Structure 1
Amino acid sequence: MITQTWAIVWDTFRELRSRRLWWLTLGLSLLVVGVFGAIGLGERGLTFLWWELETPFLNKQTVGVRDFYTNIFVQFGVAWWLGWLGLILALMSTASIVPDMVSAGSIELVLSKPIGRWRLLLTKYAGALGFVGVQVLVFAAASILVIGVRGGVWLPGLLIAVPLVVGVFSMLYCVCVLTGLLTRSTLAALVITALFWGFVSLLSTAYTGTEFFREVNALNLESQGRRVERLRAQRAALEESQAPGADGDGPAGQAQLPEETGERWDLGPGEAERLAERLREAEAELARVEENRRLIGRVEWWLRASITALPKTGRAIEMMTGWLESEAQVAQREQRQSEGQDLVGAFDPNRGRPQSPEEEAEERRRERVIEARVVSARREQSAWWVLGTSGAFNAAVLLVACWRFGRRDF
């Protein structure tokens, strides 16, 4: 049985290797690695081959060589090449395996072999995964070699990208196998898989949007809550100053605000009414922000329930890039997040557009705070939820494909 299985896997691999897409994908992977190798980090800035671009913020004094090359590999090699372009080429290379197998004239020869249908289909599936695994292994090994020679650091941990990328590919390829089995068309399998991938990505993007709005609303809620507390403290100080026996001469006196404000407040005519009006507006705004929080929570729950049942390719790629980050990069990201905690009070929903350079800089800092919080929240999501539910979807689709292949008359 092992010999039969291995023979089918090897036959599938040889079939894929004989196609031009194999060499195209391999050549593009090596080209990307070559571009990585051409980029370097000099004493004064970035280098490309024999040219040097002076960048005071990016050189050997400001960034470590290990972090520099790891970041390039993670952000471009994994997130863009392996996570998107490489997956597209892999799907194009392997989409025809099942339609060609079940086409008229081929399926009769295949079924004449003394091997079960389920094992036959799963073996073909494993052969396609092996094809992709070899491509990713070549890319990762070449990247390690180039980074070691060019940067003087050896990063064997980059090999973890091989099983992770193969796993992400498997989440999509199972759909391609099922549609190819049902339609017997390579083009239909590719189109349906691409549409499914787009739908999943769109759903994931919507969920990411709700996470962003959740963090923005949370900061607004904290800011508005502090504003209401401050106005209530001012009202209490005003009432105390106007009480019989209090210091000052009634409304014409002065009330000491709470210590955290550090201000003096002149009590002019009609100030009590204006303060009460501001307090009512602040409480109404706080109620509105609280209602937004509940609405965002409901939308987020439904989106999370929807994507839980589907493969999370984007989340898996993000999780993979997080695992490949060095400890220094993680510490830098967490420090950026912690430095922004004191900006919570700046998230005022009544705040206008920044006008001065200082306000514009503060606005950019607030945006970085939100981004850091969202990224941190996403990377704290359980790997069992991202990979476990995606694996369950993968297994369920493969089970349906095997059941259909086992019962279908050809």
Structure 2
Amino acid sequence: MRQFAVIFVDALRLLRARALFWITLGISLLAGVTYLSIGFSDHGMTVMFGAMELENPAITRGSEMAGMVYFGVFAMFIVPIWLSWVAVILALINCSPVFPEFMAEGAAGTVLSKPIPRWKLFLFKYLCGLLFALLQTSAFCLLVFFAMRWRVGTWNLSVFWAVPLVTLMFSYLWSVMAAVGVKTKSVMASMLASLLFWLTCWTAKLSEEIAWSAAETGMVGNLQLSAGQQAKWKQNQLLMELPYRILPKTSDTVNLLQRFVRLEGDREFSLSEIVSALEDGAPRKDPAIDAAVERRSTGFILGSSLAFELVVLGWGGWMFCRRDF
């Protein structure tokens, strides 16, 4: 534990010395204040501390839907856009020099001259990157936690589910960055590899959604397929879904937040109720929409993603242990 503490403090000093570390914190604070600016009045929802008002009788101050809509903004916009894209990209940029700079001539040799196994050193460096992402997400969720208390009057601990989920999603990309960083000793190569890998995961998810929709519902976007076309999609569905099944589920991992959240009175999150309330002011449940959120099991999403990550980490650790310093 002492060895890990020393390595973590050293990594934290390296990150703090970079201007991007403070820029990231500033942007996180700005995003949190923006979320805090959303509130509710007697006529509907307000934005920018009351500067704008969106009239809607279903989501007024103190209404049952106010809490669900407020958390919906967090679960469907803040988490997927800010925590899952902007914050992760900034975290990757911050962490990208960790392994390449450590692999530089002379840097690793100093540490390895001390009695610490190479595999443990690799693991400690990897965990340092995860802790950075975890601390960044935790600070943001803490602000959201108090914002929900102020705006809708509830202490909703389920917002903190975003911390392990976003950290897990980051870990999929961080494992690739770490392995490529060990292999190439290049900050740019490891950064580009992780972004390309992320794009590949997103493309695999999009391909899976199109294949499932075409085979099961006969729809591709707004296009209605014929019976023959739908049958062909069913024949090729497994092949189309194969990359998705193998690769980590980046977006699905974060979207698990919508399953785990519990609102006031242990009420479940309902995407269909939010959509209908915002459209016409009448919240209605649509089982088809809500069921689509849980189409893949939690075990499959996390299990297959972590299995892929372990393979990549094993490859990176093996190269690190065999590298000459």
The TM-score normalised by the length of structure 1 is: 0.70
Out of 247, 252, 261, the residue aligned to residue 310 of structure 1 is 247
2-structure distance, mates of 1:80, 1:194: 16
Range moving further from structure 2, 43-52 or 57-66: 57-66
1:358-397 equivalences under 5 Å are 373=288, 376-397=291-312
2:177 touches 2:193 (CA, 8 Å); kept in 1?
yes
Tell me: CA distance 1:385–1:12, structure 2 relative to 1, closer, same or farther (3 Å). Answer: same
2:204 touches 2:241 (CA, 8 Å); kept in 1?
no
- Match for residue 249 of structure 1? none
2:214 touches 2:233 (CA, 8 Å); kept in 1?
yes
**AA partner of residue 16 (structure 1):** L
- Match for residue 67 of structure 1? 68
The TM-score normalised by the length of structure 2 is: 0.87
2-structure distance, mates of 1:405, 1:175: 14
**AA partner of residue 383 (structure 1):** T
Tell me: CA distance 1:374–1:309, structure 2 relative to 1, closer, same or farther (3 Å). Answer: farther
- Match for residue 152 of structure 2? 151
1:152-301 equivalences under 5 Å are 152-217=153-218, 289=227, 291-301=228-238
1:95 touches 1:186 (CA, 8 Å); kept in 2?
yes
**AA partner of residue 45 (structure 2):** L
What fraction of aligned residue pairs are identical, expressed as a percent? 28
What is the DSSP-based 3-state SS (H/G/I as helix, E as strand, rest coil) of the residue aligned with 2:296? Answer: coil
Out of 270, 277, 282, the residue aligned to residue 330 of structure 1 is 270
Residue 47 of structure 1: how far off its partner (Å): 1.8
2-structure distance, mates of 1:302, 1:378: 22
Q: Cα deviation per residue 1:89-145 (whole Å; 9 max; x = unaligned)?
A: 111110110000001231221221211111001100101100110000000001111
Residue 30 of structure 1: how far off its partner (Å): 1.4
- Off by >4 Å, runs of 4+ in structure 1: 331-336
Range moving further from structure 2, 130-139 or 7-16: 7-16
**Structure 2, unpaired ranges of 5+:** 220-224, 277-284
1-structure distance, mates of 2:38, 2:253: 27
2-structure distance, mates of 1:378, 1:214: 18
1:6-25 equivalences under 5 Å are 6-25=5-24
Tell me: CA distance 1:332–1:325, structure 2 relative to 1, closer, same or farther (3 Å). Answer: farther
- Match for residue 279 of structure 1? none
**AA partner of residue 24 (structure 1):** I
Residue 181 of structure 1: how far off its partner (Å): 0.8
Tell me the matched-pair count. Answer: 309
Residue 63 of structure 1: how far off its partner (Å): 5.4
